[in-house]
Amino acid sequence: MIQVRSVPQSLHRELMKRARALGLTLTDYIQRILEREVGRPPAAEVFARVAKRAPVSLGRPAAELIREERHARTVP
C-alpha cells in the first residue's frame, strides 16, 4: 500500500480529471502512471548502454546530412 500525503489540491484535481476522462479510478490511474514509469529504464542506464556501443561512422559530418535533408524537404 502506498499513501501520498500533502498533494497540492491543483494536482489532485488534475489527476482526478485525467482519471475520469479515461474512465478510471484515481487509484487505477496512478497505478498506470507508476507502472509505466517503473517499466522503462532510468536515463542513467540508457546513457550507460549508449556509451558502451561502438561509434557509428556516417562518412560525413552529421550536420551536413541534416542540412541536406532539410533542404530536400523545402525544395519543391
| Cα–Cα distance for residue pair 76/73, rounded to 1 Å | 8
| Cα–Cα distance for residue pair 43/49, rounded to 1 Å | 10
Question: What local confidence, expressed as pLDDT, does residue 14 receive?
Answer: 99
Give the chain's largest Cα–Cα span: 59
Q: What is the mean pLDDT of residues 4-26?
A: 98
Q: What are the tens digits of pLDDT across the range 29-76?
A: 999 999 999 999 999 999 999 999 999 888 999 999 999 999 999 977
- Residue 15 burial (10 A CB sphere; 0-12, 13-18, 19+): middle
Cell triple for residue 42?
532510468
Q: Where are the domains of the chain?
A: 9-74
Cell triple for residue 28?
487505477
